[in-house]
Amino acid sequence: MAERSFRKEVQQLRIGAGETFRGEGILAITKALLENGVGYVGGYQGAPISHLMDVLADAEDILAELGVRFEANASEAAATAMLAASVHYPIRGAVTYKGPVGANVASDALANLASGGVKGGALVIVGEDYGEGSSIMQERSHAYAMKSGIWLLDPRPNLPSITEAVRNGFELSEASNTPVMMMVRIRACHVHGAFEARDNVAPPLSVRDALSNPQRDTSRIVLPPYSYRHEQEKVTQRLPAALDHIRAHGLNERFGPETAPVGIVVQGGMYNGLIRALQRLGLADLHGDSLVPLYVMNVAYPVVEDEFLEFAEGKEAVLVVEEGTPGFIEQALRAALHKAGSARTIEGKGVLPEAGELTGRVMLDGVARFLRAHAPGLLPAEVRAPNRDAPPPAPDLSDAVPIRPPGFCTGCPERPIFAAMKLVEEELGQHQVAGDIGCHLFSTMPPFFIGGTTMGYGLGGASNAAFDGGGEKRSISIMGDGGFWHNGLTSSIGNAVFNRSDGVTIIVDNYYSAATGGQDVMSSRADNPSKSTGHPISKALEGVGVGWIRQIDRTYDVTKMRDTLREALTTDHAGPKVIIASSECMLNRQRRERPQLQAAIREGRRAEKPKFGVDEEVCTGDHACMRLSGCPSLTLKMPDDPLRDDPVAYIDQTCVGCGNCGEVADAAALCPSFYRADLVHNPRRFEAWLARLRARVIAWLQGRRDARRLTWGTAEGQG
Amino acid sequence: MNAALGELTPGRPDSRLSGIVKLAIFAVGGQGGGVLNGWIVDLAERNGFDVQATSVAGVAQRTGATIYYIEMLPRSGRAPVFALAPAEGDVDILLAAELMEAGRAVMRGFVTPDRTRVIASSHRALATVEKMVPGNGAGDGQAVMRALRDQAAGVVAFDMQAIAEEAGTVISSALFGALAGSGHLPFEVESFRDTVRASGRGVEASLAAFERACAEAQGAAGAGGEAQAGEEAEEPAGAERPRGPERLLAEYTAQEGRIAELPEPVRATVAAGLRKLVRFQDPAYGAEYLDRLEVLARADHDAGGAAHDFAFTATAAKYLANAMAYDDIIRVADAKTRVGRFDRIRSEVDAPPRALTRVTEYTHPGSAEVVSLMPAGLGRRVEARPGLVRFIDRLVNRGRHIRSDRIGGFVSLYMLAGLRRWRRGLLRHGREMAHIESWLDTAQGRVSRDYALAVETLRARRLIKGYSDTHIRGLSKFDRVMAGIAMVEHRDDAAEWARRLIDAALADEKGEALDGARKTIESFA
């Protein structure tokens, strides 16, 4: 069960010609796939296209009606390999993943696919996670298109353009026998907009039909002598075909006047940002009609050189607006001008920053800088020669405003794992710790400060391989269940077994691929109608020969977690030691249980709801518990006691009663301030009677004591 | 390809552009910013606007800072080109779901005096880095409020979280209400309500929060300023009379009389201290407190304390009370078995009348706690035998989850609390009293020579708090600070150094900053 449900939204996928679709970018892409007769879809989740996978999963019945196969692939490599169905069969296929991390994983299959080429349209939808809010290394997926010789679409970020690009992508792929990547940036994936729908089209040849009538063509295999021919084919046949198609169908767009002293070349995805800058400079109107000629490259690769040369004709200078480094497009355009013997000026990196997101201010300043140098007449006087002082810099509040990096959610079952690691660290000293990809990586942030590398999905264990030989202390690697099934079983665990690693691996099993939005994985406990779940990680470990396995079924038991980790670090067992720390992702658990609880309360059934609390009088305000938690619901407040200086711990209403606070206080012997209060709704009669009896006895005891001492009424208990 | 640009002349922005409303939402992941985003889109479409909204969803937003962005314009037949992300200096309305996120928007240049109107919840959701500090690490909210007033074209700020909580919903409803009430968007309030109603889930609670925030914001907008609640300056309820046996009441009244003899500026603190100690032990213990304090007050007076508002006595009144009400098991057990606690817990978990509350205490006693509860002589003899201490530790040292709403659990805590009667004879008490005497002697010895240093010496006591390891660490920090102070004792700026040492000791858990400060002192002392 994914974090976000699109059950309601996917109904829009059924609409047909004459109707208007309203919704998010990812949903629009799905609709466009159906309108273009796609035969199979798949991919691997990760922001910003996690929701595309969720949409596909939620739309499985709609896909089935059309005869479209949906596969939740094990990895991006698996997804790309699936496009092999378009090699011999005229079936359109589309897969999606997060780029460039997805492209990294996919590159083996991608290169093989690109070499042999395709018969049916093959589309890779890459969610470019670049700039603000990104959680990955800042690289460009563009390089993959160039090195494998596949085409890269980068459509303007509005729903009509994006959905058009899906159609163009399939057609371009088929016209040039080449897979096509379509890049959608993070905010475009989640942009809310509208487009005119068309009817859905069932694939002319379904994958089921293809199975009945197998086909093969030896010349598509990546083996000599064919692989040499593929290389030639790419440049002599596929590229020219692609260039013709792009030109003939006007995939790139031109806006603005035919003649002008300057022009701007822009990646499709950067179009809106550029228009906003031109609007603010008075050079474009509300609808984007521009006084500066624009060449919008909805196809970022390959560059249609003659089209560009034609655009550049008669202009003194051309600005290339290209986000990210290196500036591949700028390099290609410079080369084109050079080959053509043209002396026109190209500006790009330099006027605009070499690296980093082209945000509003950056774009505005860059375009203004370019125009100031090459067409000052177009600029308003105050921009041309600013005689006013620049606006005062924004006030520096860095002392007051705290950093707020992402962290574990309230009640996260991973928190106690790292609390336990902290406790072991106190006893046995610091250890070499390697992380993986997944929520657990938040352990590097405050308050835990554990681990400092992440080498890729499922590669946590592998990244400690240099330390496999062991030493005075053991290395520790951490991996999520998502990473384990993605790649970790072979690359990290198998590797460790084979090389007789002495290291310790902690596998965080939270029942889902939680970091990407709670999609099911093989070891998920939930029943999934279309997927096979319930395959325990421990069995897989046994299967590949791990001899020391500890399964912890309640990570919140910090004491057990700590003792198990200590055992792993000190046992004399030879070979890898693996701890499976397993508790359900709280975000998903709450999503499932909260409605059930509310229903029970409403219907008068007995239901329990836990919450933790702190005795204000007992808490001394040292905040040791905070340094082992970081839970959003465990916070601070000033005590009512005027004699005290420091704020005390306080648990707010968002607490889900996971138990971490109490267990940590217990395991670390911190303090006795924490209590758990279980609210019992609709108690049974006997239970209620017993509680009343207990309360009476307790009240009698309390009264007896208070009769012999001084007490203050309302302020009682406030220190 | 377009040709006609009739309305555009170079250098003069299209006048219709000013009609675009640019709205950014600064939130913390998990606050329901997505819901708010969706509501605003629905509202705009409902009112015949073209609207574009973007968000960044993903793991980097889990509980971290995140931005939603919306642009809208009355529908005109031809689609406008909207930007996908906010630009510095080009935001009309900024919604912040938490005070520091408003501060972050200011820092990043999204709030400018020419155009940005801010609607912010003034509550604080503390970030982990603020909570980790052993002392008080919270960021300066007042600085952010000042910056907002300076930078924004208008500010509506009040605690929307409290409103949401009272209505049993999340802050997005209150923010939506504040947006409606502010009048910054050209839509009727009723149409905001329609949007909330159409959302279908938790409508009643959402509307309740919406209405309150809307009214509050309308008031603020009407007053042309902020609805920022004033500093809460409630008087501490110190004047309340205790209840109890006549004899004890008489004792207590007599002690209150002694407070009147002390200098005026210190009386309120002493009254609070006295009450704390009578609660901790008994009126006689309160008398001990006053005995000590009177000695210190005389020394203060002799040292010219009147010129310092008797800061020495005031500081002593505070920290001596805290020191004498030391954190032992008896105090903990008493706090957990007092009248009123179960009611307090029930209100904290918002228990409906018929629901039951079960309470589990998380405790983890060790041998040190057990030995500290022994009579002084016995305790010392046990301590001298490490083997025996280890044996006791094996016996008791494990986490104990005590159900204090059951008779058995309650009685065990109740009996522990009952040891109060013998407290004065226990090992821990002797230790605490000796520590207090030596600390007070040191401070008193300095008061005539260096008044400010003597005050700082008293303040150092703040470092001792907590239980078991935390307590030991606190003691060690205290010792290190006191030794550091001793090194600079005869310098003119000794008090300044003492203050720095104390602040350093509060900065981190292990006392690394403190060791750094000590090194600095050693380099010149």
Are A267 and A236 found together in one domain?
A: no
Average pLDDT across chain B, whole number: 91
Task: Band the pLDDT of A1: cuts 50, 70, 90.
Answer: low
Lowest mean pLDDT among A230-239, A557-566, B89-98, B393-402: B393-402
Residue B7 has pLDDT above 60, yes or no: no
Residue where one domain finishes, among candidates A194, A223, A248: A248
Of B51, B236, B335, the CB nearest to A717: B335
CB contact under 8 Å between A406 and B336, yes or no, is no
Domain match, A636 and A667 both: yes
Whether A594 maps to a domain, the answer reads: no
**Burial degree of B249 (CB within 10 A; 0-12, 13-18, 19+):** middle
**Chain A residues in contact with B407 (beta carbon < 8 A):** 694, 697-698
Residues of B in contact with A271 (CB under 8 A): 81
**What is residue B200's predicted lDDT score, i.e. its pLDDT?**
83
Q: What is the DSSP letter of A463?
A: G
In which residue ranges of chain B is CATH 3.40.920.10 found? 17-222
Q: Count, in order, helices (H) and strands (E) of chain A.
A: 25, 23
- Burial string for A326-361 (b: 16+ CB within 10 Å, else e) reads ebbbbbbbeebbeeeeeebbbbbbebbeeeebbbbb
Contacting residues of A for B150, CB less than 8 Å apart = 395
Residue A399 lies in a domain: no
Tell me the average pLDDT of chain A: 94
Q: Residue B68 carries which DSSP code?
A: E
Q: What is the pLDDT of residues B415-432, one digit of tens each?
A: 999 999 999 999 999 999
Query: Looking at the complex, does the CB of residue A682 fall below 8 Å from at least one CB of chain B?
Result: yes
A250 at B interface, C-beta within 8 A: no
Same-domain status, A441 and A423: yes
Is the pLDDT confidence value at B12 over 80? no
Residues A31 and A65 in one domain: yes
The domain in which residue A702 lies consists of 608-706
Identify whether residues A574 and A425 lie together within a single domain: yes
Q: Does B107 touch chain A (CB under 8 A)?
A: yes
Residue of B nearest to A643 (CA): B318
**Do A242 and A260 reside in the same domain of the chain?**
no
Q: How far is CA B313 from its chain centroid? A: 27
Instruction: Verify that A262 and A344 share a domain, yes or no.
Output: yes
Say which range, A424-428, A553-557, B20-24, B218-222, has the weakest mean pLDDT. Answer: B218-222
The pLDDT value given to residue A719: 40
> Tens of pLDDT along B494-510?
999 999 999 999 988 88
The predicted structure's pLDDT at residue A192: 87
What is the secondary structure of A510-536 as a DSSP string? Answer: -SSBTTTT-B--TT--S--TTS-----
- Residue A58 in this model has a pLDDT that exceeds 50: yes
pLDDT of B1: 38
Q: Report the pLDDT value the prediction gives residue A390, as an integer from 0 to 100.
A: 66
Q: How confident is the model at residue A371 (pLDDT cuts 50, 70, 90)?
A: very high
| Contact (CB<8Å) A378/B11 | yes
**Cβ-defined contact of B14 to A285 (cutoff 8 Å):** yes
Of A215, A248, A281, the one marking the end of a domain is A248
CA distance A356 to A361: 12
| Whether pLDDT at B223 is above 80 | no
Confidence band for B233, pLDDT divided at 50, 70 and 90: very low
Residue A199 contacts residue A35 (beta carbons within 8 Å):
yes
Amino acid identity, residue A381?
Answer: A
Instruction: Tell me the per-residue pLDDT of B29-73, one tens digit each, with 9 for 90 and over.
Output: 878 888 999 999 999 999 999 999 988 776 666 778 889 999 999
Residue A601 resides in a domain: no
Does A602 map to a domain?
A: no
The per-residue pLDDT for B232 is 41
Q: How far apart are CA A346 and CA B28, in angstroms?
A: 42
pLDDT at B4: 43
Joined together, the tokens standing for residue B438 give: 């030596």
What is the domain-level CATH number for residue A36? 3.40.50.970
Give the nearest chain B residue to A649 (CA atoms).
B131
* Cβ–Cβ gap A47/B269 under 8 Å: no
- CATH number for the domain spanning A363: value is 3.40.50.920
pLDDT at A168: 98
Q: Which residue would you say has higher pLDDT here, A575 or B6?
A: A575
Residues A524 and A485 in one domain: yes
Q: Which of A434, A471, A472 is nearest to A455 (CA)?
A: A434
A 200-219 residues with CB below 8 A of B? none
Nearest to B511 by CA among B483, B476, B482, B486: B476
* Chain A nearest CA to B301, separation (Å): 23
Q: Are residues A439 and A559 in the same domain?
A: yes
Q: Does position A383 have pLDDT exceeding 50, yes or no?
A: yes
Is A337 within the bounds of a domain? yes
pLDDT: is A196 or B511 the higher one?
A196
* A403 occurs within a structural domain: no
Tell me, what's the pLDDT at B227?
Answer: 44
Question: Are A155 and A182 contacting, i.e. CB atoms less than 8 angstroms apart?
Answer: yes
Model confidence at A272: pLDDT above 50:
yes
Q: How much of chain A exceeds pLDDT 90, in percent?
A: 87
Q: List A152's β-bridge partners, or say none.
A: A181, A301
**Whose CA is closest to A655, among A590, A602, A559?**
A590
- The full DSSP string for B113-141 is TTT-EEEEE------HHHHSSSS-----H
Residue A283 is predicted with a pLDDT of 95
Residues A137 and A266 in one domain: no
- Average pLDDT value for residue range A108-132: 96
* In-domain check, residue A232: yes
- What is the pLDDT confidence band of residue B3, given thresholds at 50, 70 and 90? very low
**Rounded average pLDDT over A282-294:** 95
CB contact under 8 A, B81 and A611: no
DSSP B243: B
CB A249 within 8 A of CB A169: no
Query: Which tokens in the block code for residue A424?
Result: 């072991």
Residues A224, A294, single domain; the answer is no
Q: Is A86 found in the same domain as A23?
A: yes
High-pLDDT (> 70) share of chain A, %: 98
Q: With 60 as the cut, is the pLDDT of residue B237 above it?
A: no
Q: Which of A273, A641, A672 sits opposite B362 (nearest CB)?
A: A672
Domain with A628 in it: what CATH number? 3.30.70
Count how many domains chain A has.
Answer: 4
- A136 in a structural domain: yes
Task: Please identify among residues 8-47 of chain A the ones whose CB lies closer than 8 Å to any CB of chain B.
Answer: 22, 47
CATH classification code of B17-222: 3.40.920.10
- CA of B486: how far to CAs of A196, A316, A572, B454, B512, in Å? 80, 76, 50, 11, 19
Mean pLDDT of A132-158: 94
Say if residues A439 and A515 touch (Cβ distance below 8 Å). Answer: yes
Assess whether pLDDT exceeds 60 at residue B6. no
Contact B140 A620 (CB under 8 A): no
Cα A126 to Cα A128: distance, rounded to the nearest angstrom = 6
Q: Is B59–A406 a contact, with Cβ atoms under 8 angstroms apart?
A: yes
**Contact A191/B54, CB-based, under 8 Å?**
yes
